[in-house]
């Protein structure tokens, strides 16, 4: 029987974004404050996912052995290091989160049956790599606060209360929404990036956070005057808003996850088609939606 197991590890390291072939002005324009010498640091958290058959002892692998492999091949070498100098891979390509996940996979793959490497640079930025050449996933996490009321304008108050319960009360209620946007792309072998991180963050800020934050969604966002702003519908709307602008960065939108509360979240996958606008896309039901 196949089973996936996960092992967590961590290390602290510094890095700097700087390409020798670019001038100081060009580096600063491309990488911003990440160019400052001698660099800056992070407390990295690494999750190594492995798959295999259960043995007679109920294990895929002996986790003590796994721990030693990760320590020997990765964390003992990277902990308290300057990443640009420690491995030759980070001299040919910058040690971005996504490139680090790819190189860690390469270092561990001869020793462990990997299915995913997930590397957190900090709680609001992480990368996943699954062995697909230069393809990786990068997730940006952010948040906004908003109020909503779950009620269809086509139904009576009594009918809405029957469907949505307390959420149909006329003055609405609020949430601190947690948003995770995952993009997919090819890692540039020199910059180590699948897309410009600052540009991706600005797209999310401009298209979602700034327009949605501190609003009453039903009243302040025109689309939700007619569409009930459930977590599912908000996630679909965000996907429609982000697909085109993220595509312009050179990446593609892989997933939108909206966490309404610790008990309730919704996910939608994939881009909107090129010939569907944000306004049209909002009204399209999506089979790739999962709610928890």
Q: State pLDDT tens for residues 238-286.
A: 999 999 999 999 999 999 999 999 999 999 998 766 555 455 444 333 3
Q: What pLDDT sits at residue 279? A: 53
Q: What pLDDT sits at residue 1? A: 84
Domains and CATH numbers, the chain: 1-131 (3.30.479.10), 136-292 (3.30.479.10)
- CA 4 to CA 146: how far, in whole Å? 37
By the 8 A CB rule, do 278 and 239 touch? Answer: no
Give the predicted TM-score (pTM) of the model: 0.92
Q: What is the mean pLDDT of the chain?
A: 93
Using a pLDDT cut of 70, give the percent of the chain over it.
93
Q: What pLDDT sits at residue 143? A: 98
Selected catalytic residue, list 42, 143, 161, 167 = 167
**β-pairing, 135-148 with 215-216?**
parallel
Q: Has residue 66 got a pLDDT over 90?
A: yes
- CA 154 to CA 221: how far, in whole Å? 18
Q: Tell me: the pLDDT tens digits for 180-201? A: 999 999 999 999 999 999 999 9
Q: What pLDDT sits at residue 288? A: 47
Question: What's phi and psi for 114, nearest 5 deg?
Answer: -75, 145
Mean pLDDT, residues 16-28 taken together:
95
Q: Has residue 116 got a pLDDT over 80?
A: yes
Mean pLDDT, residues 59-66 taken together:
95
Q: Where would I find the beta strands (DSSP E) of 149-251?
A: 173-186, 215-216
Q: What pLDDT sits at residue 70? A: 98
Q: What pLDDT sits at residue 273? A: 64
Mean pLDDT, residues 46-75 taken together:
96
To the query of whether residue 205 is one of the catalytic residues in this protein, the response is no
Q: Has residue 217 got a pLDDT over 60?
A: yes
Q: What pLDDT sits at residue 284? A: 38
Closest CA to 108 of 134, 83, 129: 129
pLDDT confidence band for 152 (50 / 70 / 90) = very high
- CA 115 to CA 152: how far, in whole Å? 43
Selected catalytic residue, list 214, 226, 248, 288 = 214
Mean pLDDT, residues 149-155 taken together:
96
Q: Has residue 104 got a pLDDT over 80?
A: yes
Mean pLDDT, residues 120-149 taken together:
98
Q: What pLDDT sits at residue 271? A: 76
Mean pLDDT, residues 168-174 taken together:
96
Q: What pLDDT sits at residue 159? A: 96
Q: What pLDDT sits at residue 109? A: 98
Q: What pLDDT sits at residue 281? A: 47
Query: Please, where are the H alpha helices in 32-96?
Result: 63-70, 76-78, 83-86, 89-92
To the query of whether residue 34 is one of the catalytic residues in this protein, the response is no
Question: What is residue 285's three-state secondary structure?
Answer: coil
By the 8 A CB rule, do 209 and 177 touch? Answer: no
Using a pLDDT cut of 90, give the percent of the chain over it.
92
Residues forming a β-bridge with 259? 178, 265
Q: What pLDDT sits at residue 285? A: 35
How crowded is residue 24: how many other Cβ atoms within 10 Å of its Cβ?
9
Selected catalytic residue, list 89, 98, 260, 267 = 260
Q: What pLDDT sits at residue 47? A: 98
Query: Please, where are the H alpha helices in 123-230?
Result: 157-164, 197-204, 210-212, 217-220
């Amino acid at each position: 029987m196949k089973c996936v197991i996960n092992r967590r590890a961590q290390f602290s390291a510094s890095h700097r974004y700087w390409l020798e072939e670019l001038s100081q002005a060009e580096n600063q324009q491309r990488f911003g404050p990440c160019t400052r010498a001698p660099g800056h640091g992070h407390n990295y958290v690494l999750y190594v996912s492995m798959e295999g058959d259960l043995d007679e002892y109920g294990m895929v692998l002996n986790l003590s052995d796994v721990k030693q492999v990760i320590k020997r091949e990765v964390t003992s070498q990277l902990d308290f290091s300057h990443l640009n100098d420690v491995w030759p891979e980070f001299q040919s390509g910058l040690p971005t989160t996504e490139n680090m996940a790819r190189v860690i996979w390469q270092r561990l793959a001869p020793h462990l049956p990997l299915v995913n490497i997930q590397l957190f640079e900090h709680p609001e930025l992480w990368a996943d790599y699954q062995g697909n050449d230069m393809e990786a996933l990068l997730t940006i996490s952010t948040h906004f606060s908003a109020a909503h009321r779950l009620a269809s304008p086509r139904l009576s108050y009594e009918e809405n209360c029957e469907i949505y319960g307390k959420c149909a009360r006329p003055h609405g209620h609020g949430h601190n929404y947690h948003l995770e946007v995952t993009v997919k792309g090819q890692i540039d072998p020199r910059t180590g990036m699948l897309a410009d991180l600052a540009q991706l963050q600005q797209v999310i800020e401009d298209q979602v956070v700034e327009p949605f934050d501190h609003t009453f969604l039903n009243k302040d966002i025109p689309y939700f005057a007619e569409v009930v702003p459930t977590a599912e519908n908000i996630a679909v709307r965000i996907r429609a808003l982000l697909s085109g602008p993220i595509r312009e960065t050179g990446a593609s939108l892989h997933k939108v996850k909206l966490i309404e509360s610790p008990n309730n979240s919704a996910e939608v996958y994939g881009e909107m088609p090129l010939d569907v606008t944000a306004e049209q896309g909002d009204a399209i039901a999506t089979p790739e939606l999962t709610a928890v």
